[in-house]
Structure 1
Amino acid sequence: MSTRFSGEGNIGSAPDYREFTSGNDEPRRLLRLNVYFDNPVPTRDGYEDRGGFWAPVELWNSEPDWAKLYQKGMRVLVEGRMLREEWEDAEENERVTFKVDARRIAILPYRIESIRLSPKQQEIDSQPQPAQPETRPKQAAGAREPKGAKAKE
């Protein structure tokens, strides 16, 4: 069972990055985050969290460097699917967990001190942009040029 999910929350622990190899195939990469999705409700004294929850977030096919990018306490927006997962604990009791199979994890700009682009992105951003040709709006057939305007040839 799964359903669409979109939520804002804070990362609660250091990210966990793993690679799984199988034969000659390229390794499958997994980035796991533990995120607290809060539900702030306005009160007289500010805000109160009502109904927030912790959920493991998994992002498959991530890049190895992303584990360094995400940090404990960081505010993120997670989009993906919520999945119900059944498992047994050490005492063989049946348990149920809801986890997020993330499609994307966006970093929200709260408490960010600096941003540094990768060298490849800096090269793209520093390249001169081609000049845009000057265009004039076309006039309807039979319309006259404004007084004092010169026609370009």
Structure 2
Amino acid sequence: MSTHFYGEGNIGSAPEYREFTNGNDQPNRLLRLNVYFDNPVPKRDGTFEDRGGFWAPVEIWHRDAEHWVSLYQKGMRVLVEGRTMRDEWEDADENERVTFKIEARRVGILPFRLESATLSLKPTSGDPEPASD
């Protein structure tokens, strides 16, 4: 079972990166974020109350996942688009468990709580060398 998901939340812990061998091909790369998706409701005094927020693991499967592990940080506000997936598993006591995870298509960084940002282009093999003065 899966369904489209679109939500805003905060990364709650350091990202986890894993590689899985894939025969002679490039390994599959996974970046997992633990995100709290909140539901802030404004109150009369101007503050907000969280109603119905939830934690969900967000999985990003991509060849560049290794580079992104240093980009995403605990506390960062993100916008996640993807699909929810039901995940069935057994705990250490062999009890059946069910959780829901999000397989992300896109994870955007929102500018809340950022002190600064530096952007640079990643050079590709076809890019010309910069001219020297």
The runs of 4+ residues in structure 1 deviating greater than 2 Å are: 118-121
CA distance in 1, matches of 2:68, 2:8: 19
- In structure 1, what residue type is equivalent to 2:115? E
Which residue of structure 1 lines up, in the alignment, with residue 44 of structure 2?
44
Root-mean-square deviation over aligned CA pairs: 1.7
Which residue of structure 2 lines up, in the alignment, with residue 6 of structure 1?
6
Alpha-carbon shift at residue 108 of structure 1 (Å): 0.2
Which residue of structure 2 lines up, in the alignment, with residue 145 of structure 1?
none
Greater fraction helix: 1
Normalising by structure 2, we get a TM-score of 0.86
What does residue range 1-150 of structure 1 map to in structure 2 within 5 Å?
1-45=1-45, 46-63=47-64, 64-120=66-122
Alpha-carbon shift at residue 119 of structure 1 (Å): 4.7
Is the Cα contact below 8 Å between 1:31 and 1:62 reproduced in 2? no
| Most deviating of 31-40 and 90-99 | 90-99
CA distance in 2, matches of 1:116, 1:53: 31
Larger Rg: 1
CA distance in 2, matches of 1:21, 1:92: 28
Is the Cα contact below 8 Å between 1:6 and 1:79 reproduced in 2? yes
CA distance in 1, matches of 2:57, 2:12: 10
- In structure 2, what residue type is equivalent to 1:81? R
- Aligned pair count reads 123
CA distance in 2, matches of 1:93, 1:4: 29
Q: What whole-Å deviation, never above 9, does each CA across 1:41-86 have from its counterpart, x for those lacking one?
A: 1122311111100000000014111000000000000000001111
- In structure 2, what residue type is equivalent to 1:87? W
Q: Could you say if the C-alpha distance between residues 56 and 25 of structure 1 is closer, same or farther in structure 2, counting changes exceeding 3 Å?
A: same
Q: What whole-Å deviation, never above 9, does each CA across 1:12-57 have from its counterpart, x for those lacking one?
A: 0000011111221011110000000000111223111111000000
Normalising by structure 1, we get a TM-score of 0.75
- In structure 2, what residue type is equivalent to 1:19? E
Q: Could you say if the C-alpha distance between residues 68 and 107 of structure 1 is closer, same or farther in structure 2, counting changes exceeding 3 Å?
A: same
Structure 1 residue ranges without an equivalent (≥5) = 128-153
Q: What is the aligned-residue identity percentage?
A: 73
- In structure 2, what residue type is equivalent to 1:2? S
